[in-house]
């Protein structure tokens, strides 16, 4: 995972500020201003961290959505669609798949624009790209 993060930082270049926040996103998002854009990469890893730490996912999701709603900056959230494959055979994977689906539905309901990217091709599901 460390290598993956380092590769993403290198690809983005020096014009980006990287903040690693595996659990608490509030310091980063609360520090944003109206003229900034935040790329949150990614909601799936954030959720995984909370799931594996055995946190209350409903409480964490509610706080996360409130944080996104109240952030003065424009926030672009990367997430993964995990419900289009077969149903996993183990309880932890099924719990994750269901929690990720609930999070994606809630984020999409709150978002102005939702874009699904498959094979590098964007499909606007909600709203319009600027």
Question: Can you tell me the distance from the alpha carbon of 85 to that of 18, in angstroms, rounded to the nearest whole number?
Answer: 32
For the chain, list the domains and their CATH numbers: 2-126 (3.40.50.300)
Question: Catalytic pick from 5, 6, 7, 8?
Answer: 8
What does the block give as tokens for 62?
């509610």
pTM of the model: 0.90
What does the block give as tokens for 28?
């980063």
What pLDDT score was predicted for residue 13? 83
Provide CB contacts within 8 A for 8, sequence distance 6+: 18, 41
Instruction: Give 40's strand partners.
Output: 77
| 50 counts as catalytic | no
Question: Can you tell me the distance from the alpha carbon of 89 to that of 63, in angstroms, rounded to the nearest whole number?
Answer: 30
Question: Can you tell me the distance from the alpha carbon of 57 to that of 102, in angstroms, rounded to the nearest whole number?
Answer: 10
Q: What share of the chain is helix, strand, coil (3-state, %, to 5)?
A: 45, 15, 40
Total Cβ atoms within 10 A of residue 38: 19
Question: How does DSSP classify residue 25?
Answer: -
What does the block give as tokens for 94?
């099924």
Per cent of the chain over pLDDT 70 is 100
- Give residue-wise pLDDT tens across range 47-99: 999 999 999 999 999 999 999 999 999 999 999 999 998 999 999 999 999 99
């Amino acid at each position: 995972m460390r290598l993956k993060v380092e590769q993403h930082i290198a690809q983005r270049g020096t014009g980006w500020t990287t903040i690693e926040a595996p659990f608490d996103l509030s310091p980063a998002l609360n520090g944003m201003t109206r003229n900034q854009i935040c790329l949150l990469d990614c909601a799936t890893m954030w959720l995984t961290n909370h799931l594996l730490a055995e946190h209350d996912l409903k409480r964490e999701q509610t706080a996360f959505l409130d944080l996104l709603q109240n952030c003065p900056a424009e926030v672009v959230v990367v997430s993964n669609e995990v419900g289009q494959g077969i149903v996993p055979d183990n309880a932890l994977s099924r719990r994750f798949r269901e929690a990720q689906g609930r999070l994606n539905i809630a984020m999409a309901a709150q978002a102005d624009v939702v874009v699904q990217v498959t094979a590098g091709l964007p499909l606007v599901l909600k709203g319009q790209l600027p």
